[in-house]
Amino acid sequence: MKDISATSYRSSRNAAYPKKRPSPSGISKHHKTSPLGPPPVTRRTPYSAKAAMLQQRQRQAQITALRRQGIFLEEEYREDIRFYMHEMERYTMSSSQSMDQQPEIRWHMRPCLVDFLVEIHFTFRLRPETLYLTLNIVDRYVSRRIVYIKHYQLVGCAALWIAAKFEDAKERVPTVQELAQICRDTYDESAFIQMEGHVLQTIQWTLGHPTAEAWLRLMCCEPSVEEEKVQHVARFLMEITLFHREFIKYPPSSIALGALTLALFLCGKPRRIFEETEECLEIVDCLDNRLAKHVNDLSETLVKKYSYAFYSKAATFVVQYYLQGGRFVRQSFISLPMTPTRPSMSGASTPMSATTSISDLSDDFPLTPTSPSSFSPEPFSNSFLSEDDKENLPTTFEPVINKQRTEVPPDHFLPHDFVAFGRPALHHLNGSPRMTAVS
């Protein structure tokens, strides 16, 4: 039988002490309002409010631009990601010295292969990172293996196939049949599969190479978003570096920064002076000299690719600039505001010693007379004081301020042997200058 007394006791207690519902925002305490009222709200000036709003809009535009390009870079991990990218680019660098030792392949053959890969890359509408990763895979493979001329094109197609699988969507990756057809059936379909495995084993399956395109996207979104024309000109300049040997020794981050620096200069935009390194300026000089001397020798495929309006006609703009004799100009120094000079001093009543500072030359206080050259081992003993040592004698002499005084000062105010006008900084910082003079 149910205990009615216990049930009635619980119901009466619940009525007397109603159960409180938990707050959805956690435990909240009731704070008494101050008798002075709520704290005053700091009001912003219109200028600061507008600056904060523009900064917020700029940051949102940067995040939107990154997300459109498939980059989700969290701010708290930004420095760690950059550090890892710098490590990976050093680890995945190729060696031009090792490539020099190839028995059959020569450097004049490289532009032909790059031109072929650029055409395939543009035909299949692959991502820009795919092209840079393709050339990195080719260079690393050629740095470690002997490659004959008849297999050079096969290595390039296999590297493009690997890079497209790693970077691009599945529907954009070319098939083996398409690669064999592009090579005009020079190689069997099985040759591409066999070369793919051999290349991956040679580079130890390391495909996480931070390309120059990846670095350029980060640089164009930080600290401010660059214009599309600047980005397209920088991409055109970066693809020029793929054709030539002198750019292989530079890391992708320096290639991207150098191309961006030259693109900003060509487009008349303010440069990032404080980000430019010596390596970056070397790349800019190499690009500038090559374009100034061999602008007519650029790849026709590359120029045609970047002559479309989709790329802001970057190739046409750069070629016309150098055909008109334009050159890159280094900014040798940064103009800083001049330090104001002190006005000329009136006639001094006392000669200046080596220990006289600028504050001693001001008109607020009288000039301090110098001490004679006699030195005492016990400076506070009267027995060692000479008769001419007027400075240390207990006298009631009080200096008289007379700024218009022009007569010759007495002998005991003249500089002693230690005084040298325009003396450089002392070398013995721990010793007394007067002790050094006596010794």
DSSP letters for 322-340? HHTT-----------PPPP
The rounded distance, in Å, linking the Cα atoms of 212 and 322 is: 24
Alpha helices in 336-414 (DSSP H): none
pLDDT band of residue 17 (cuts 50, 70, 90) is low
Give pLDDT tens digits for 72-100: 556 677 788 889 999 999 999 999 999 99
Sorted by sequence, the CB contacts under 8 Å of residue 86 that are 6+ apart come out as 251, 253
Question: Picking from 68-82, 120-134, 246-260, which range would have the lowest pLDDT averaged per residue?
Answer: 68-82
Give φ, ψ of 356 to 5 degrees: -80, 130
Residue 29 corresponds to which tokens in the numbers above?
């305490």
Tell me the pLDDT of the chain averaged across its residues: 76
Mean pLDDT, range 407-416, rounded to an integer: 50
Residue 372 corresponds to which tokens in the numbers above?
């004679």
Q: Which residue has the higher pLDDT, 88 or 405?
A: 88
The rounded distance, in Å, linking the Cα atoms of 127 and 217 is: 13
The rounded distance, in Å, linking the Cα atoms of 251 and 262 is: 17
Q: How many CB atoms lie within 10 A of CB 395?
A: 8
At 69 the pLDDT is 61
226 neighbors 220 (Cβ within 8 angstroms): yes
Q: Which residue has the higher pLDDT, 74 or 248?
A: 248
User: Looking only at Cα atoms, what is the longest distance across the chain?
Assistant: 127
The rounded distance, in Å, linking the Cα atoms of 192 and 50 is: 59
Q: How many CB atoms lie within 10 A of CB 336?
A: 6
Percent of the chain with pLDDT over 90: 48
Percent of the chain with pLDDT over 70: 62
Q: Which of 251, 273, 259 is nearest to 220 (CA)?
A: 259
Q: How far is CA 200 from CA 146, 209, 220, in A?
A: 15, 14, 32
At 211 the pLDDT is 94
At 22 the pLDDT is 56
Q: Which of 241-250, 269-278, 325-334 has the highest mean pLDDT?
A: 241-250
The rounded distance, in Å, linking the Cα atoms of 412 and 397 is: 14
| Whether pLDDT at 18 is above 80 | no
pTM, entire model: 0.62
Give pLDDT tens digits for 347-357: 444 444 444 44
Mean pLDDT, range 359-363, rounded to an integer: 46
Residue 211 corresponds to which tokens in the numbers above?
């390309």
Mean pLDDT, range 373-397, rounded to an integer: 48
| Whether pLDDT at 296 is above 50 | yes
Give pLDDT tens digits for 33-45: 454 555 555 667 8
Residue 420 corresponds to which amino acid? Answer: A
Q: Read out DSSP for 187-246?
A: S-HHHHHHHHHHHHHHTTT------HHHHHHHHHHSSSPPPHHHHHHHHHHHHHGGG-GG
